[in-house]
A = this chain, B = another copy of it.
Amino acid sequence: MDEFEIERIADGELTDPVLVEGLPGVGHVGKLAAEHLLEELDSVLVARVYSQHFPPQVTVEDGTTQLASAEFHAVRPEDGRDMLVLTGDHQAQDNEGHYGLTDTFLDVAEEFGVESVYALGGVPTGELIEEYDVLGASTTDSLVEELESVGVAFRENEPAGGIVGVSGLLLGLSGRRDLDAACLMGETSGYLVDPKSAQAVLEILQELLGFEIDYEALEDRADEMEEVARKIQEMEQGTPTPSDEDLRYIG
């Protein structure tokens, strides 16, 4: 096996498509968003990318195995632009892998005629979120304006640590290929998988690309996560606090 390998699975003719990336990351926001797109819209698996920089691992489903990979699905929604959706269970395990995989992903995207890239992800706030803003970053000033016009927030010095991993490099490496690229980052506490943040990101993407989807499945998942969060909070409050200890000694 080579360091990076592209497996073409189907043709999937696409008209002026955009690449939509949602790999694992903060709050799994990008991955949830990309997977929700694939659940709600018809899609065809068109390519897989394998790499020695992925974990040495197979997943098992119905008894048969699949080598660690990233997957590209072609999506042709009734309304809006065609999409090439990139998702998967893994990020690269080292720096050279991140650079090399991102280059390979852009190679695949260009084979399908992609000229615009949207990287989806989360940005950790460290606290519970009431209103889910979506932060933006892009490779060109004109794209910044376009994103602002659909409600994407741009704030000075945010995200503070820049953007890391494939989402960051998709922007960093798109410039040298004359591709436009933007990153849409849903705010999220950073502590739990966050379907609400994923929905906020998708609602922006919907504005930009024009597709129509339902969010019920994401909302159900959000309710489940709130239940999980409630239980964690209860468990934490159930542990003895300093004042309880004092009582024991006083008693």
Contact = CB atoms under 8 A, between A and B. Distances in A.
Nearest to A93: B95
Given A56-B168, A56-B169, A141 B64 contact: yes
A53 B95 contact: yes
Interface in A146-169: 147, 154, 158-159, 161-166, 168-169
Contacts of A31: none
Interface of A: 1, 3, 52-60, 62-68, 92-100, 102-103, 136-141, 144, 147, 154, 158-159, 161-166, 168-169, 171-173, 175-176, 183
Given A56-B169, A95-B53, A95-B54, A65 B164 contact: no
Contacts of A97: 95
Contact of A59 (B65, B154, B162): B162
Nearest first, the 8 A-B pairs at minimum CB distance are A67-B172, A56-B98, A63-B144, A52-B99, A59-B162, A58-B168, A58-B172, A65-B171
- Most chain-B Cβ atoms within 10 A of its Cβ — which of A58, A100, A139, A161? A58
B136 A63 contact: yes
